[in-house]
Structure 1
């Protein structure tokens, strides 16, 4: 699910020739193997649980301040986006760790 802002950023990265190892929206989406939603009865609280390929689950949530504005489909979309955004940080850490280990290995610094 490439958003308009993600598409614009991807285009700019490609235009500028930035081609070092990095995360992409497609790589983030490829980590997701399942999703479940729950709307708590009598509330506007919506939770999305995204299951990642390694079995880890990332949670996102949303809630409308005014019950009159609550729309379940919108709540689910916002909760999913919030969960997906957390994956960027997790995958970013993993990539940075991998790059760090590769540099240390190339320098002969891994015990």
Structure 2
């Protein structure tokens, strides 16, 4: 089997490529995604089951499902999950990393929508602002 190196498709690598190509229009960046996260919480499905069912025994596969909850600066939450197929390969730290990556991917479309809405708003001209302050109708365009 031949091994082909796959391109670096991380968010940071893509941002570097955008910058290198001189793209300067407004866009969502990895820094924007990270700046919108105010806190993170991690737990397994087993943790959730035990909390609800007062430590009663639980199905062991619940140990292999990790959740990440990210709280965004406006209070909205997004979740990510990581499920491990083989108990022998389960690693809590790796599970948390994958769950967080999956949660972060859900932030991109939210910020993209927010940016597009902002870009679609009409630009307030100085003449519009002056008319608003004077309590007179805005000049027609």
Alignment: residue pair count: 104
Q: How does 1:83-98 map to 2 (within 5 A)?
A: 83-98=103-118
Q: Of the two, which has the highest radius of gyration?
A: 2
Q: Could you tell me which residue of structure 2 aligns to residue 15 of structure 1?
A: 20
Q: Cα distance 1:17–1:70, how it changes in 2: closer, same or farther (>3 A)?
A: same
- The aligned counterpart of 2:40 is 35
- Residues 71-110 of structure 1: pairs in structure 2 closer than 5 A: 71-102=91-122
Residue 49, structure 1, aligned to residue 69, structure 2: yes
Q: Deviations over 1:70-108 (max 9, x none)?
A: 1111000000000000000111111111111237x78x9
Aligned-residue RMSD, C-alpha: 2.0
Tell me by how many angstroms 1:6 deviates. Answer: 2.5
**TM-score, structure 1 length as denominator?**
0.84
Structure 1 runs, 4 residues or longer, greater than 6 Å off: none
Show the counterpart of 2:57: none
Structure 1 counterpart of 2:78? 58
Normalising to structure 2: TM-score of the pair? 0.67
Structure 1: stretches of 5+ with no match in the other structure: none
The more displaced of 35-44 and 79-88 is: 35-44
